[in-house]
Amino acid sequence: MTSHAIAHKALSKLLDAGTRRRIRTAAGDTVAASAITVVFSEAKLPEYIELDSSEELERVHAEIREAERAGALRIEWDSAAGRFGQISRIVLSNIEALASFLNVTPQWVHIERAMQLSTPWRGQPAVDAIRAAWVRNTKVRNLGPRDAERLVEACRVLDRVRQATDAAVETPVRRLSADMFGDTKHIENALVPILDELTRGDEPPVSEVEAVLPRIGLVKHPQTLLIGGRGTLVLTNGQRITLTPPYLGIAPDQLARIDGPAPDHVLTIENLTTFNEVSRGLNEFTDAMVIYTAGMPSPSLRRALRCIAKCCSNHTRFWHWGDIDEGGLRIAKIVAASIAEESMPERILRPWLMDPCRLPETVRQAPGSYRQIRRMVAMAEELGWCEVATGIREMPSMVEQEAISPRTPF
């Protein structure tokens, strides 16, 4: 154990160099078999060269010689300075002994522990990518090998969700969190980024609870399918319910199909306030259906959207209206994927009031960053919304849906 700052710095630099070598070797990198050293020069360790007190110099030497006696290193002395007058460099002999001498847990121990803890999920691409990053001592979503328990907890959560007896029904996140961790908010507070990393695929990383949890089947409370328009809802138990103004709500997993003439238009709406306003404007002559996505639609609500889309004709036009921001466009991508039908390649999701250039200046807000705008443009292009992408590029801004006076494309 060292007490002098200069001795501690020199020994820590030697340990760090040895740790980097060991980590690179474990990662399979080709590493030269050269000695691991710290040179006591003006460039590498100026504090040592600038010492002007023989007493201070002797204290530094004494502590480093103690590390040498512990078998951690070998000292090479500067012959020009006389016997034990000045150190030229120190050479690593035994990295475990050096770590023990400094009384620290070396990073490779954390890495080896992380590899051991995550072994049950080895073979899953996202887990393997995290393990590979950690072997190189690189953090993922601000988590490193020391945080391996977080990865394990997230994998256990996903296992529990996948093992649910009824995949059509979402799991209340706080009940699951209390059951697994004894804390109702642990999943929301500690695991959302790593859960996103494990499940996002090729999508950009996000950390918002509302964007991540519904995607994997976790909800604060079960979502309700709110739907306005004309037709008869047929439930899984065979019960038939006629849609009445302004809208009806059912558990999304209970919808089997919708009977009646296919609507000319289907409009999905992200926010509840706007949905209420639009649905109350429908009448018996409006040949349209309005659906509330409840923000980011959960898996069961996505299944209901697919069910509704299958009951529509190839002449039905599908529209989406949501916030003009990353979250809103991410929701639009989920909706578009939900209504897609291989047998109807002409079916597309059209944007409604989502081009900032076509909206009043008073509702446009400054974007958080240029990077955010680039991601928004990319998502609009993926949706095939070229005008929206151009509008966001030319008029970088975000718009909350509730700021726009409601109107519809029908």
Interatomic CA distance for residues 138 and 357, integer angstroms: 42
**What pLDDT was estimated at residue 25?**
79
pTM across the whole model: 0.75
> Please, what's the largest Cα pairwise distance for the chain?
103
CB burial of residue 59 (10 Å; 0-12, 13-18, 19+):
middle
In this prediction, residue 1 carries a pLDDT of: 64
Cα–Cα distance for residue pair 317/287, rounded to 1 Å: 11
pLDDT at residue number 351: 98
- Return residue ranges of the chain for CATH 1.10.10: 5-104
> Both tokens of residue 266?
């289907």
The CATH number of the domain covering residues in 5-104: 1.10.10
What letter does residue 118 receive in the DSSP assignment? Answer: T
Per-residue pLDDT, 343: 67
Neighbours of 250 (CB within 10 A): 16
Give the CATH number of domain 225-403; options: 3.40.50.300, 2.30.30.230, 3.40.1360.10, 3.30.565.10.
Answer: 3.40.1360.10
DSSP string over 186-247: HIIIIIHHHHHHHH-TTSPP---HHHHHHHHTEESS---EEEESSSEEEETTS-EEE--SS-
pLDDT recorded at residue 183 = 98
Q: Which residue intervals of 75-222 are DSSP H helices?
A: 95-102, 107-117, 125-135, 148-162, 173-181, 186, 192-199, 209-216
Distance CA 361, CA 321 (A): 18
Residue among 206, 186, 188, 187 nearest 196 (CA):
206
Question: How does strand 317-321 pair with strand 255-259?
Answer: unpaired
Q: Residue 30: its pLDDT value, please?
A: 77
Classified as helix, coil or strand, 86 is coil
Helix/strand number for the chain, H first, E second: 16, 14
- Beta-ladder partners of 304: none
- Where are the domain boundaries for CATH 3.40.1360.10 in the chain? 225-403
Q: In a structure prediction context, what are the per-residue pLDDT tens digits for the chain, which is 410 residues long?
A: 667 999 999 999 999 999 988 887 776 777 778 999 999 999 999 999 999 888 999 999 999 999 999 999 999 999 887 666 899 999 999 999 999 999 999 888 999 899 999 999 999 999 999 999 998 889 999 999 999 999 999 999 999 998 875 555 788 999 999 999 999 999 999 999 999 999 999 888 999 998 899 889 899 888 899 999 999 999 999 999 999 999 999 999 999 999 999 999 999 999 999 999 999 998 877 899 999 999 999 989 999 999 999 999 989 999 999 999 999 999 999 999 999 976 677 789 999 999 999 999 999 999 878 999 999 999 999 999 999 999 999 999 999 999 999 999 99
Burial (CB < 10 A; 0-12, 13-18, 19+), residue 253, is buried
* Closest residue by Cα to residue 248 from 259, 233, 268: 233
* Residue among 67, 142, 149 at smallest CA distance from 104: 67
